[in-house]
Amino acid sequence: MTDVSRDEYMAVAASREIRDGDTAFIGTGLPMVAAYLAKATHAPRVNLVFESGIIDPQPVDLATGVGDYRLVHGSTKVAGTFYALSLLQQAKVDIGFLGTAEIDPYGNLNSTVIGPYDRPRVRLPGSGGANDIASMAKRFVVIARLDRKRFVEKVQYLTTPGFLTGPGAREAAGLPGAGPVRVISDRAILGFDPASRRMRVEHLYPGVTLAEVQEHIAFPIDAAPTLEIEPEPDLHLLRLLRDVIDPDGVYVGRDER
């Protein structure tokens, strides 16, 4: 299957991070698609939580955001943002998904400003629930396209903690969550070395080289000891993505390969 798009690789890879029985904190975009794919396949008992406070919905159509009223259909509870974030504080969330404008080698994220804080070149949306998710979910996954302006040596503003300055830093800061476990990109799947806590390449998509990945990252990155090639999604997964979950290609593009 040579017509698998990068978005489809990302959605399938992200879905595999969800385990059956997890409580998963889900955002807009590819995380939403990945969550529905997981629920339709290997994780039917996953409990989906949206920041708007909509709990485990069964929507007929793909929502355009976490506050889209289409998400309410079939939900077990609609309780508001306070309730959703309180689940994190109670350590009831197993996994969360985040995007970012910048990410550094230790998985720290910036979604606040590009440039000086008082007079930035770009003012970004800020944390929202991202800091809560990264700090208190049992683990979190970042979904981000590789870009040297995004994968940087040092974030310009620390919005959301990864492993902070390295080994032991999260624990010293009193953060209960395990931190980032995976970065799902459009060319490779990245993880973190358990000793150094630095990002590393763990899976390459077919046809992508380690050198190509490095070209799109502004800091030196190593490969895991067992660097693998990511398998192509099977036809069943692709049909679910294309025909059932996102038939209009709202979040999963078909033309970028």
Catalytic residues: 51
- Can you tell me the distance from the alpha carbon of 201 to that of 183, in angstroms, rounded to the nearest whole number? 9
- Can you tell me the distance from the alpha carbon of 85 to that of 72, in angstroms, rounded to the nearest whole number? 18
Task: Specify the long-range contacts of residues 190-195, CB closer than 8 Å, at least 24 apart.
Answer: 190/221, 191/224, 192/106, 192/107, 192/163, 193/222, 193/224, 195/167
- Can you tell me the distance from the alpha carbon of 257 to that of 147, in angstroms, rounded to the nearest whole number? 16
